[in-house]
Each structure stands twice: as structure tokens, then as C-alpha cells.
Amino acid sequence: MKKEFDPEMHSAEHILNQTMNRMFDCGRCFAAHIEKKKSKCDYHYHRDLSDDEIKEIEKRVNDTIDADLAVTEEYIRMEEAKCYYNVERLPSDAGGKIRIVKIGDYDACPCIGPHVSSTKKIGGFRITSTSFEKGTLRIRFKLSKPENKGKSRGRS
């Protein structure tokens, strides 16, 4: 059975990855489980996050969503992609052209999944929990529908 991607959640993952890299210089997640109801991303890091850091991540992700950035794609040659992106996770038979998904000027990376056309379509982002074990920081998160966005912000 082919894996079904949720465009809203998958686009939120891209924004979370870029936010984590900008705040903590930890790179993109090395493992993720993206589902419609809840998702998680695992990062190589040395500790758990503080409550203030979690609030700041949520704020930055939601601010990026609120910015109504266009989500676009372009195809570039594999040789060019290697110069700008980590292509280690691409399959060996990925081909000569690689799809790059861009979220405004906030994020760009190789990706095969479906995405929203604009960040405003993602909804509200909320971290439900974090944990740290043996060099892995796990962030669990949910989204609210765009019309319910204000109701689910922040931790509960």
C-alpha cells in the first residue's frame, strides 16, 4: 500500500525543520513519522527543550505559516542539488533531476511529497510533547484547521 501524505502536515514538517536548524543548528530531522492527526520528528541533539524554547519554536513556525508564503517546486540536476542540499536520503535511482520544494524564502529542500500551495492553508501548529534519549530529540506536534487556528495555539 502506498503511503498517503497529508499536504498540510508535510508542509509544516518542512517549516519545523528549518526552524530547528535556524535556532539550534541541528540540521533537518533524520527520521519523521508524518500523519494527518499527529506527527513526530527526530533530531540529533544533546538535550531536551525548555518550555521557553518550545514556545519560541511554536511562535516562529506559526509566524511563518501566517506569512502566507507560496509553496513552489522546481527541478534541478542532481549535480547541482548536491552542491546546495543534503541528498543522502534520496534513493540511488532518484534520477538526473531532483524536485526541490520551496516555502517562500524560508525553506528549500529535495522532497517527493505533496504540499499546500500557500502556508496559510496549513493551520495552527502546536508542539504536544518533546523527549530526549540517547542523542535523539523527538518533537511531537499537531495542526489545527486554519479556521480554528487561534483555538489550538500554545501548549495545553
Residue 150 confidence class, pLDDT cut points 50, 70, 90: low
52 is a domain residue = yes
| Cα–Cα distance measured from residue 113 to residue 124, given in angstroms and rounded to the nearest whole number | 20
Residue 137 confidence class, pLDDT cut points 50, 70, 90: very high
Whole-prediction pTM: 0.90
Please state the rounded mean pLDDT for residues 97-104.
95
83 is a domain residue = yes
1 is a domain residue = no
What's the confidence (pLDDT) of residue 155?
43
Domain membership of residue 59 as a residue range: 7-152
Q: CATH number of the domain that 39 lies in?
A: 3.30.980.10
98 is a domain residue = yes
Please state the rounded mean pLDDT for residues 58-75.
98
2 is a domain residue = no
Q: Is 50 exceeded by the pLDDT of residue 136? A: yes
Burial 120-154 (b: 16+ CB within 10 A, else e): ebbbbbbbeebeeeeeebbbebbbbeeeebeeeee
Residues shown for the chain: 156
Tell me the pLDDT of the chain averaged across its residues: 91
| Cα–Cα distance measured from residue 154 to residue 138, given in angstroms and rounded to the nearest whole number | 18
Q: What is the pLDDT of residues 86-97, one digit of tens each?
A: 888 777 777 789
131 is a domain residue = yes
129 is a domain residue = yes
Q: What is the pLDDT of residues 107-121, one digit of tens each?
A: 999 998 899 999 999
| Cα–Cα distance measured from residue 122 to residue 138, given in angstroms and rounded to the nearest whole number | 21
* Residue showing cell 547541482: 80
Give the number of domains in the chain. 1
